[in-house]
Amino acid sequence: MSQPILEVNHLSKRFRGLLAVNDLSFHVNKGEILGVIGPNGAGKSTTFNLITGVYSPDTGEVKLNGQNITGLSPNEICKKGLSRTFQVTRPFGDMTVLQNVMVGAFLNTPNPRRAEQQALEMVEFVGLGDKKHAVARTLSIIDQRRLEFARSLATEPALLLLDEALAGLNAMEVEEAIELIWKVKDAGVTLVVIEHVMKVINTISNRVVVLNFGAKLAEGVPKEVMNNSAVIEAYLGK
């Protein structure tokens, strides 16, 4: 088997008294969609923040294509091909859709014309072509999610982490978003998807990692994970 694109080894993070991530290890294979699920507060977003350099871990290491990236800044990590979306989208509200996406494109492309060209492609790709000159803060929720997606794709990631990218969408919009995720996967991007709608995870994930109280509760293909009694208990309570 080829080398995983991402390896997380014995990662821990404490916020004062709270162990938010507890000795967590998992890997992501090239080309797959890995789902990450777990109850609220399980440590999912913190795990993304540790992987992407937003926080530095208390223990453990993160490897991208076999290279240790622990402790690098978010920008350095992004330049190495690891991008992410935030659970709470944070566009530059006063800038247009295109300008927002150009911020992502500039990371790899110092040439403004090329950055704009690349940003335009991504804006079209996510279906915001008609709204490229709209001011970001006027967008609907699904369009804000699309923008967040385009902005991270514009950095040309090999690995993209989505943190509840489908939150707040209605059933039809979720279908559209899933199509978009598949399109990204087909373009050769590996994805890690945090999502709490089980049906979405079942539909799109090749494998699933379940977190509970910062630790890994279960791991496997969606079918086995959903039938795991510890997972059912964590979700339904005792």
Q: Which phi and psi angles does 173 have, rounded to 5°?
A: -65, -35
Part in contact with Mg ion (CB under 5 A); list of ranges 79-87, 141-149, 178-186, 199-207 = 79-87
Answer yes or no whether residue 212 interacts with Mg ion by CB under 5 A: no
Closest distance to ligand ADP from the beta carbon of 89 (Å): 15
User: Which residue, 14 or 196, has its beta carbon nearer to Mg ion?
Assistant: 196
Binds ligand ADP by CB under 6 A, chosen from 20, 98, 184, 189: 20
Binds ligand ADP by CB under 6 A, chosen from 28, 34, 35, 45: 45
Closest distance to Mg ion from the beta carbon of 87 (Å): 5
Closest distance to ligand ADP from the beta carbon of 5 (Å): 22
Binds ligand ADP by CB under 6 A, chosen from 5, 28, 34, 42: 42
Part in contact with ligand ADP (CB under 6 A); list of ranges 34-42, 67-75, 89-97, 167-175 = 34-42
Closest distance to ligand ADP from the beta carbon of 35 (Å): 13
Answer yes or no whether residue 141 interacts with ligand ADP by CB under 6 A: no
Closest distance to ligand ADP from the beta carbon of 111 (Å): 37
Residues lying near Mg ion in the complex (CB under 5 A) are found at: 44-45, 87
